[in-house]
Structure 1
């Protein structure tokens, strides 16, 4: 297959991030996890994977990353490009999709996806290949079987309760209308009903009445926009554990310690 370009979202939302403030760093991607800035973990995983050709890091302040001794290697790596990030994720992605020098497929993830590893990327790339758009999710039973105390934001469907895994695939420019819709509901990303309602009353009612499966719903959304859209149900619980809160960081550091031990 054609190698994908990976996009690593490393920007800052308005206001002060609590993890960055607690760590005494300017931006969240520099907040330490197990002794080093969190961005280093997903960056290394992406650059080491054979399906990834180059890595674009989106941030409002590239100099904070290239100027920090612990992350300066990113600015020196031949496969890393820094791109200016806008105020929102979706609006920044929209600008990239419209650029003639940006090629597909694109794999998008976040700087706080500390536990991203080769097995997750293997599964996601394998199952997303051939789709115009794919999104990775973790079903609640998968997470709770391994980490029963972990708390996530869940979307309830007939085929389970699902949480995002911060992995997105854009296989072609056909994904642009869906990103445009994402831009409209970006401020309501934690309000599942608001996101669903943007896809129409059938999707909203289907979820509320548990008459729709997530997999089928995503496929229907794709057909609405004239593209192939696919759910990738991740089989590793760690796929939906990001470094968003102090409790998350503590859990991630424990998992990293177990791996190293």
Structure 2
């Protein structure tokens, strides 16, 4: 049984800059990727509006090293003026920045984390994710390969392969309580290898790695095993919408996203 959604979720919108110049930012002539235009406006605007328009979301924290760049751009200056939006300075990595905010004690749970390049994020995705993640200490949104390719066969993703299919991250994460802190600390250790599925799996123990390689483990079972290891409730949210794992990571993604938005 899925628990009812909490009255107020703290959303964290990642809008940082990588150490090396991002090709989309360079091509658009903007200082950070979230300011690069998609469908006529900076990509950060659509996920920011989706979060602010959802009844379960309380405050939205924009995590970035360049708050000044968003304030200076007329198309994103509204974020700094919004009463439910605040900017926090990001550090060298996502996990380290999260831990720093937690240490400051001004980060009320539950937390929903997503990215500024999640341009297709909408109410339906948030409805499903919040409903299924509520009650978990940590939850991760994923899209199964068949779900995506049935509608968008041209889309190229990084897949983690398990007995219950191939899975791609949907860039939506849930941290329901302070019990998630050890998992975030582990994330900090391996986030530089986030595109290397085997490295992430091995961090959760040899059984998870071997099980994935031999196709004897399901992703859902693996999540439950991670939860047991850390003494918490860990949950996979298998997203129904294939668009949930299409982010604006490269120009081909932007072209696809703009086609999807135009069709809507």
Q: Deviations over 1:75-98 (max 9, x none)?
A: 110000000100111110111222
Q: Deviations over 1:43-63 (max 9, x none)?
A: 000000001001000000101
Q: Counterparts of 1:70 and 1:55 in 2: how far apart (Å)?
A: 18
Secondary structure at the residue paired with 1:98?
Answer: helix
The RMSD of aligned alpha carbons is 0.6
Q: Counterparts of 2:104 and 2:261 in 1: how far apart (Å)?
A: 38
**Structure 1 position 9 matched with structure 2 position 18:** no
Tell me the equivalent position of 1:233.
238
Tell me the equivalent position of 1:65.
70
Aligned structure 1 segments of 4 or more residues deviating by more than 2 angstroms: none
Secondary structure at the residue paired with 1:15?
Answer: coil
Q: Counterparts of 2:161 and 2:144 in 1: how far apart (Å)?
A: 10
Cα drift, residue 158 of structure 1: 0.5
Tell me the equivalent position of 1:53.
58
Tell me the equivalent position of 1:244.
249
Q: Counterparts of 1:217 and 1:146 in 2: how far apart (Å)?
A: 27
Tell me the equivalent position of 1:102.
107
Tell me the equivalent position of 1:216.
221
Q: Deviations over 1:216-245 (max 9, x none)?
A: 101110110010000000000000000000
Tell me the equivalent position of 2:48.
43
Secondary structure at the residue paired with 2:107?
Answer: coil
Tell me which of 170, 174, 198 is aligned to 2:179: 174
Q: Counterparts of 2:57 and 2:254 in 1: how far apart (Å)?
A: 27
**Structure 1 position 138 matched with structure 2 position 147:** no
Which consecutive residues of structure 2, in runs of 5 or more, have no partner in the other structure? 1-5
1:10–1:59 contact (8 Å) kept in structure 2 = yes
Which consecutive residues of structure 1, in runs of 5 or more, have no partner in the other structure? none
Q: Counterparts of 2:213 and 2:251 in 1: how far apart (Å)?
A: 32
Tell me the equivalent position of 2:23.
18
1:2–1:105 contact (8 Å) kept in structure 2 = no
Q: What TM-score results when the alignment is normalised by the length of structure 1? A: 0.98
Cα drift, residue 69 of structure 1: 0.1
Tell me the equivalent position of 2:3.
none
Number of equivalenced pairs: 259
1:13–1:88 contact (8 Å) kept in structure 2 = no
Q: Counterparts of 1:15 and 1:101 in 2: how far apart (Å)?
A: 30
